[in-house]
Chains A and B, each alone.
Chain A
Amino acid sequence: MGFIAAVNLALLGLLLAVPAVWGDFVTWQLGLYLLYGIAAQGVGLAWGRGGFLPLGNALFFGVAAYVSAMVLNATGGAFLPNLLAMLVCAALLAALAWGLAAAIFQGRTESGPYFSLITLALVLIVAQLAETAQPVTGGFNGYSGYDSIAGLDPYGNLYYLIVGLVVITSFCLMLLEKLPGGLILRGLVSQELRLQTLGFATHRVKAWAFALSAFITALAGGLYASHQGIVTPQATGFVLSSELLIWAAVGGRLHPLGPLVGAVVIGFLSAELRDTYLWWEVLIAFLFLIVVMMAPGGAVEMITRLARKLGWHAPKLTVAPNPAPPARAKAVNGPLTLRGVHVSAGGVHILEGLEFTCPARGFLCVIGPNGAGKTTMLKTITGAMPVERGEIRLGERDITNVPQYRALAHGIGRKMQIPTVFQDLTVDENLQLAALAGRTGPLDYFRVAPLGWQVPELGRLLDQPGVPLADLGPVAAGALPQGHRQMLELCLTLGATPHVVLLDEPTAGMSPEETGLMVRLIRDYQAQTGAFVLVIEHDMALVQSLDADVLVLHQGRRFAEGSFTEVRANPAVTEVYAGGHK
């Protein structure tokens, strides 16, 4: 912890020394830029860690500023009531942000333009309201004539309150990075689809990230009212929203301190240069574009990369291994059944009345020519593709069209055809997420211990001779070769000890040795847990070696079923594979 902590403490010391060294005016300026910086930290959190782009965060800043100003006016600036009002206001705005994000992100796995433009529209409307609601907000001239909080002087002691808020938000954000919550956020940005199959409702994860973003931004807005002594519609305008984004980008959205640095540095430079040079604003806009195109991590990312090159590594948090709690999935009380399932996409009928019952435990191999609907079948079982007609049941439960993130709660784990791991995270972090999947309660996101959770089945798997992952802990998963990636994805699939395991070509791209190992691992897992394992495979030797029932799909229907020998002896099956008439 030493070096990083020393740098942070030195920065804090510098902040505290400013009033004595540079005097009142610089203190006032810095106070303002720090407040902007805190607001930009909120934007940085949403963008860098949530992976979506809020274009209207000044909404929270400005509304909180207006509310604070009004409460200050009503209470004469008394400290505790106003502090309480700030917190309540920020919490209400956070709740609003949560609902908005949850509604927009529900049912989609991208963070595209919708959210950004809705937030942009909101900030424009609120600014318009602030301008037109003259009796309440003072309209264009602003709302003024109130005392600052506890009567603190914006040129003097208020500064320390601002620094206090800076310390709190920065510390909390840095802490979050180290906790399971932060890990899940990074997983979200890296591979949203996989996070859903691990049982995390990603629209809610995003909603929480946006709520926290709004909360932080609103706190800054609350103090802004005291600092400026006047709140104008600009405080909730789209210009400020854009500036928050620029500060976060240039300073660095991936580090909690990045947006602060961006806001303070650009703030001081702008104050010096804005009036002297007409092209200053153009230069800033240009800088923003350059950062977006060439240096997505911003200034702080460059600094940390340089530091890493020089051999200063951020210390890794070591967490003592501890037993993971049991998976929270509902017990499975019967076989997986598909009844008359119809699925189509883009006018093509993929599944046409697919109907079969799986065994309650043991293996089932699914084979069929390309385009038979094998992968689609798995997708519909886990809710990744909507069923048009028919139903899917697991024991007595109807699981037709459950959202994808709910599949794991029903005890269903799926390994995808193209191995899907969290590429930007290390192997260790991938395995940590595997252990978190399906086991976390609300509090676990903010405790360190879950990062050390050990799942017995997973541990057994990793300890098998030949499994390469144990030595690859700090390697980024994106750098793994195909075979290793398949193994890692198997771990992600089995981490929550699912009762129903759906494996889509688990040995594709693997060497014969790796294939043998994979089969051994899967068999071992099945033997330990008594789970039902469905395997889609093209490799007939593997299918034979599993010695299980085989289901043949063709053109979206059940074509044949039986033991491997029976199916192989079936002339119709041979015909389908050899390309005979349809």
Chain B
Amino acid sequence: MDQLLLILLNAAWQIAALALLALGLAIVFGLLRILNMAHGEFVMLGAYAHVIAGQLGLPPLTALPICILVVGLVALLIERVVVRHFYSRMFDSLLATWALSILMREIVEMIWGRAYRNVPMPVEGLVQLGGVSYPGYRLIVIFLVIAGFACLWLWYRKSLTGVRIRAVVNNPSLARASGINTSRFSAAAFVTGCVLAGLSGLLLAPMLGVEPSMGLDALIRSFFALVVGGLGTLEGLGIGVAVVGGVQAGLSAALSQTAGYLGVLVLAILFLWRRPDGLYRRR
């Protein structure tokens, strides 16, 4: 019984962490039709907020504003200088953001070096759940993810901004004609997606550690979640995250980390081959 609870908690943790990682990528792809290959590097940059706060001698909690500020500014700069030119050019945007990801990685390496760093848990201590004691910080993150997704879904479906966003996604030129500033909208969408990526890095850094190349794994797992769920909807993202996170958690627990990874890859290839629209299809 306790064993089962632990497995369930671990799976919930994996799924929550993946949802957090994938959200930024899903937003940028869903709204701008750009697959942001530098997504993982924004995750990485967010995680480095811990390092910046430490170097400046600031209390750990200041990492949050630092993360938002740094990632937001970098994302804005990148959107204005590079990404802006690649809207509606799927293939070229892929390459451009890939080049950006290499550039960001190299710059971070130049500043902070290649070394792997540990980040202390912001919340220490274990929580007793039945016969299982589970790290409190993980439970907090799981709760935050669930609450955040629920709010986001409601906001997207019910708010006026949500309607505007759907209008722009549906028909950019018509939206422009109806008085929506699509250029500012695109910038806002890109920056939002990247800041969310940064925040996920910040929140997950205590578990993942911090290093320049940590973004790759984040990118690939997020992307696979999108592939399995179906690109471009929040509901699809939820399903994809659950399947991919679940498969990875299960295989990793049963066999090994590599097996978990391989399982997810095979799953993604099968989906691309047989069900290119993913599990959740928008009607």
Closest to A120 in B: B220
Chain B neighbourhood of A293, CB < 8 A: 82, 85, 96
Task: Give per-residue flags for A117-143: 1 if the beta carbon is below 8 A from chain B beta carbons, else 0.
Answer: 110111011001100100000000000
Contact A129 B269, CB 8 Å, known A108-B276, A113-B94, A289-B82? no
Chain A neighbourhood of B262, CB < 8 A: 125
Bound together, the chains give a CA A245 to CA B272 distance in angstroms of 24
State the main secondary structure of chain A at its contact with B: helix
Closest to A118 in B: B269
Which 6 pairs of residues, A with B, have the shortest CB-CB distance? A113-B35, A285-B103, A289-B99, A103-B273, A285-B102, A281-B106
Q: Could you name 12 residue pairs across A and B whose Cβ atoms are closer than 8 Å? A: A107-B276, A117-B35, A117-B223, A120-B220, A124-B261, A128-B261, A242-B102, A246-B102, A278-B110, A282-B103, A285-B99, A288-B102
Interface residues of A in 26-51 (CB under 8 A from B): 51
Bound together, the chains give a CA A129 to CA B261 distance in angstroms of 11
Chain B neighbourhood of A171, CB < 8 A: none
Interface residues of B in 242-283 (CB under 8 A from A): 258, 261-262, 265, 268-269, 272-273, 276, 283
Partner of A112, one of B90, B96, B99, B269: B90
Chain B neighbourhood of A117, CB < 8 A: 35, 219-220, 223-224
Contact A112 B258, CB 8 Å, known A285-B106, A286-B103? no
- Are A113 and B223 interface neighbours, CB within 8 A? yes
Chain B neighbourhood of A55, CB < 8 A: 98
Bound together, the chains give a CA A18 to CA B107 distance in angstroms of 35
Chain A neighbourhood of B261, CB < 8 A: 121, 124-125, 128
- Are A281 and B96 interface neighbours, CB within 8 A? no
Partner of B258, one of A132, A242, A278, A279: A132
Q: Could you tell me the distance in whole angstroms from the C-beta of A296 to the nearest C-beta in chain B?
A: 8
Closest to A239 in B: B213
Task: Give per-residue flags for A260-300: 1 if the beta carbon is below 8 A from chain B beta carbons, else 0.
Answer: 00000000000000000011011011101100110000000
Interface check B109, CB cutoff 8 A: yes
For the complex with contacts A281-B106, A288-B103, 6 further pairs of A-B residues with Cβ separation under 8 Å are A103-B273, A112-B91, A113-B35, A121-B220, A246-B102, A285-B107
Chain B neighbourhood of A125, CB < 8 A: 258, 261-262, 265
**How many residues on the B side are at the interface (Cβ–Cβ under 8 A)?**
37
Interface check A376, CB cutoff 8 A: no
Q: Could you tell me the distance in whole angstroms from the C-beta of B84 to the nearest C-beta in chain A?
A: 11
- Are B273 and A104 interface neighbours, CB within 8 A? yes
Partner of A118, one of B105, B107, B109, B272: B272
Task: Give per-residue flags for A161-205: 1 if the beta carbon is below 8 A from chain B beta carbons, else 0.
Answer: 000000000000000000000000000000000000000000000
Interface check B227, CB cutoff 8 A: yes
Chain A neighbourhood of B103, CB < 8 A: 282, 285-286, 288-289
Interface check B74, CB cutoff 8 A: no
Interface residues, chain B, CB within 8 Å of chain A?
35, 37, 82, 85, 90-92, 94-96, 98-100, 102-103, 105-107, 109-110, 216-217, 219-220, 223-224, 227, 258, 261-262, 265, 268-269, 272-273, 276, 283
- Are A282 and B106 interface neighbours, CB within 8 A? yes
- Interface contact tally, CB-CB below 8 A: 100
- Are B110 and A279 interface neighbours, CB within 8 A? yes
Interface check A563, CB cutoff 8 A: no
Q: Could you tell me the distance in whole angstroms from the C-beta of B224 to the nearest C-beta in chain A?
A: 8
Interface check A106, CB cutoff 8 A: yes
Chain A neighbourhood of B102, CB < 8 A: 242, 246, 285, 288
Partner of A128, one of B91, B220, B258, B272: B258
Bound together, the chains give a CA A278 to CA B108 distance in angstroms of 12
Bound together, the chains give a CA A125 to CA B283 distance in angstroms of 35
Bound together, the chains give a CA A113 to CA B276 distance in angstroms of 12
Bound together, the chains give a CA A445 to CA B106 distance in angstroms of 43
Bound together, the chains give a CA A289 to CA B110 distance in angstroms of 18
Closest to B273 in A: A103
Chain A neighbourhood of B105, CB < 8 A: 285
Chain A neighbourhood of B223, CB < 8 A: 113, 117
Q: Could you tell me the distance in whole angstroms from the C-beta of B206 to the nearest C-beta in chain A?
A: 23
Chain A neighbourhood of B110, CB < 8 A: 278-279, 281-282
Partner of B94, one of A116, A278, A284, A347: A116
- Are A289 and B100 interface neighbours, CB within 8 A? yes
Q: Could you tell me the distance in whole angstroms from the C-beta of A281 to the nearest C-beta in chain B?
A: 5
Interface check A247, CB cutoff 8 A: no
Chain A neighbourhood of B265, CB < 8 A: 118, 121-122, 125
Bound together, the chains give a CA A445 to CA B223 distance in angstroms of 37
Bound together, the chains give a CA A284 to CA B107 distance in angstroms of 11
Closest to B221 in A: A121
Bound together, the chains give a CA A246 to CA B105 distance in angstroms of 15
- Are A106 and B90 interface neighbours, CB within 8 A? no
Closest to A291 in B: B99
Bound together, the chains give a CA A284 to CA B109 distance in angstroms of 14
Closest to B223 in A: A117
Chain B neighbourhood of A51, CB < 8 A: 91
Most buried by A among B96, B103, B217, B227: B103
Q: Could you tell me the distance in whole angstroms from the C-beta of B249 to the nearest C-beta in chain A?
A: 17
Bound together, the chains give a CA A111 to CA B94 distance in angstroms of 11
- Are A124 and B216 interface neighbours, CB within 8 A? yes
Bound together, the chains give a CA A510 to CA B170 distance in angstroms of 33
- Are A53 and B220 interface neighbours, CB within 8 A? no
Interface check A238, CB cutoff 8 A: yes
Chain B neighbourhood of A122, CB < 8 A: 265
Chain B neighbourhood of A284, CB < 8 A: 106
Bound together, the chains give a CA A181 to CA B167 distance in angstroms of 44
Bound together, the chains give a CA A125 to CA B224 distance in angstroms of 14
Contact A53 B91, CB 8 Å, known A120-B220, A125-B262, A288-B102? yes
- Are A113 and B220 interface neighbours, CB within 8 A? no
- Are B94 and A124 interface neighbours, CB within 8 A? no
- Are A281 and B109 interface neighbours, CB within 8 A? yes
Partner of B220, one of A124, A288, A289: A124
Closest to B265 in A: A121
Bound together, the chains give a CA A100 to CA B265 distance in angstroms of 12
Interface check A110, CB cutoff 8 A: yes
Bound together, the chains give a CA A288 to CA B283 distance in angstroms of 40
Bound together, the chains give a CA A104 to CA B283 distance in angstroms of 24
Q: Could you tell me the distance in whole angstroms from the C-beta of A279 to the nearest C-beta in chain B?
A: 6
- Are A292 and B94 interface neighbours, CB within 8 A? no
- Are A53 and B95 interface neighbours, CB within 8 A? yes
Most buried by A among B94, B95, B261: B95
Bound together, the chains give a CA A188 to CA B239 distance in angstroms of 35
Interface check A577, CB cutoff 8 A: no
Q: Could you tell me the distance in whole angstroms from the C-beta of A540 to the nearest C-beta in chain B?
A: 32
Closest to B85 in A: A293
- Are A112 and B94 interface neighbours, CB within 8 A? yes
Bound together, the chains give a CA A106 to CA B276 distance in angstroms of 10
Bound together, the chains give a CA A279 to CA B110 distance in angstroms of 7
Contact A347 B283, CB 8 Å, known A113-B35, A282-B107, A293-B96? yes
Chain B neighbourhood of A279, CB < 8 A: 110
- Are B91 and A288 interface neighbours, CB within 8 A? no
